[in-house]
Amino acid sequence: MTTPTVPYYPSLWQDLRGTSFSQGWFDAKGIRTRYLRSGDASLPPLILLHGVGGHAEAYARNLDAHGKVFDTWSIDMIGHGWSDKPDHPYEINHYVDHILRFMDAQGWDKAHISGESLGGWVAGRLAADHPDRVDRVVLNTAGGSRSEPPVMARLKLLSTQAAKDPNWEFMTQRMHWLMKDKTDATDDLIACRQAIYAQPGFEKAMANAMVLQDLETRNRNLLLPEDYGRIKAPALVLWTSDDPTAPPAEGQRIAEMIPNSTFVVMPDCGHWPQWEDVATFDRIHLAFLQGKPVGV
């Protein structure tokens, strides 16, 4: 008997098939925080942080592998996803405060922190200013090292458009910006983000998040060489061949400023390597977080 061929439809449920995980909301000392979690409290804690305008699903494809080794929490940061969105501009100290509240409410003295884009900026600031709270830190195509007005303007335009009018065209443009291979921006992922951006009040939340794309605000939040130099935790600076925000040389420059760092470039990826090449990302990421040799 011939086994029928079943068409594969890429979706978040397909990504999570076979993964033991939970979704919920956690009170991070006054900030209602939405999470995707895999693993359990017997394992070392790991917090995964998305980029600006993003949400916990940025790591949906990584939960299975990481939940087997770590108590893995991918969260919606303050002002993002389905977490609370207080009405004030979100600067880096607000995101750091949110993560510390989350850790304190969990009862964690320390955790591994891994962030992509804005999440990497937050992770770097957290590791620099609160070295006693971070085990290992990953800066994945991280922001916060410099100001690039053309990139900032493009990101602000796409994000603001999508939040003001979350129609399919604008949402698709915003997601395509992240990926080298545009087909990695699946319809299901676009629909997920569309639902988030269609929330009442989200346009205001996006405006509050976009303040870091304004030059004056961004510059006072940047991580300076002396900040990177204060990072005591072992650090992985992970970059990609086709990141739309900065070339691999910028990742190399960041790594050279951090005393105990490893620098890796993943080929054929844009701004979401954890999504675009799951197997390679998981192998590198898990090796580093477990203190094992790292290589592409």
Q: Which residues does the annotation mark as catalytic?
A: 271
Question: Residue 211 — left, alpha, or beta (φ > 0 → left; ψ -120 to 50 → alpha)?
Answer: alpha
Find the Cα–Cα–Cα–Cα dihedral 296, 134, 83, 141, rounded to 10°.
Answer: -30
Cβ atoms within 10 Å, residue 88:
11
Separation of first and last alpha carbons in the chain: 42
- What tokens does 70 get? 């770590």
- What tokens does 249 get? 């040389």
The secondary element (H helix, E strand) that includes residue 34 is: strand 32-38
Long-range contact list for 24-30, CB < 8 A, 24+ apart?
25/82, 25/83, 26/102, 26/105, 26/106, 27/105, 28/98, 28/101, 28/102, 28/105, 29/101, 29/102, 29/104, 29/105, 30/101
Query: What's CA 125's distance to the chain center, in Å?
Result: 14
The secondary element (H helix, E strand) that includes residue 235 is: strand 235-240
* Separate counts of helices (H) and strands (E) for the chain: 13, 8
